[in-house]
């Protein structure tokens, strides 16, 4: 097997419309949708697409997505201003700054900035 890269990440959600609003309005993903149906939406977040798949039985803590941001503290402040709770406050490691939040189904979002400035 020759893995060339990751084409997309799928997050199982109970309600595609509610999750689409969350990822658009709270998280701020404004990428266009490449696919949209009642059971699936896919953001064109190149180089790796983000797909939301309706699966009420499998919704919840089944994914963790690291979202690259320029400033973790600023992103956390923006989420708080929108009324969204933070699970783990911004922390620093040798290689990055990060914080942890969850989407409406409990899927984890790592708000992340690499110290070397790279993303993706």
Establish if 74 belongs to a structural domain.
Answer: yes
Q: Show the domain range for 67.
A: 8-114
pLDDT digits (tens, 9 = 90+) for 12-71: 999 999 999 999 999 999 999 998 999 999 999 989 999 999 987 888 777 788 899 999
pLDDT digits (tens, 9 = 90+) for 101-120: 999 998 889 999 999 988 87
Domain of residue 25, CATH code = 3.10.180.10
Query: Angle 55-61-67 (CA atoms, 0-180°, nearest 5)?
Result: 100
Is the Cβ–Cβ distance between 78 and 67 less than 8 Å?
no
Establish if 23 belongs to a structural domain.
Answer: yes
Name residues whose C-beta falls within 8 Å of residue 79's C-beta, 6 or more positions apart in sequence. 26, 27, 86, 101, 111
Query: How far is 40 from 18, CA to CA, in rounded Å?
Result: 12
pLDDT digits (tens, 9 = 90+) for 71-86: 999 999 999 999 999 9
């Amino acid at each position: 097997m020759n893995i060339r890269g990751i084409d997309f990440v799928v997050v199982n959600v109970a309600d595609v419309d509610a999750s689409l609003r969350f990822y658009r309005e709270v998280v701020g993903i404004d990428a266009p949708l490449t696919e949209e149906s009642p059971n699936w939406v896919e953001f064109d977040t190149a180089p790796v697409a983000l797909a939301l798949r309706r699966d009420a039985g499998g919704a919840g803590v089944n994914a963790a997505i690291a979202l690259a941001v320029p400033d973790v503290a600023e992103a956390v402040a923006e989420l708080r201003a929108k009324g969204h709770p933070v699970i783990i406050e911004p922390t620093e490691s040798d290689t990055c700054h990060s914080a942890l939040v969850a989407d409406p189904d409990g899927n984890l979002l790592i708000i992340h900035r690499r110290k070397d400035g790279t993303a993706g």
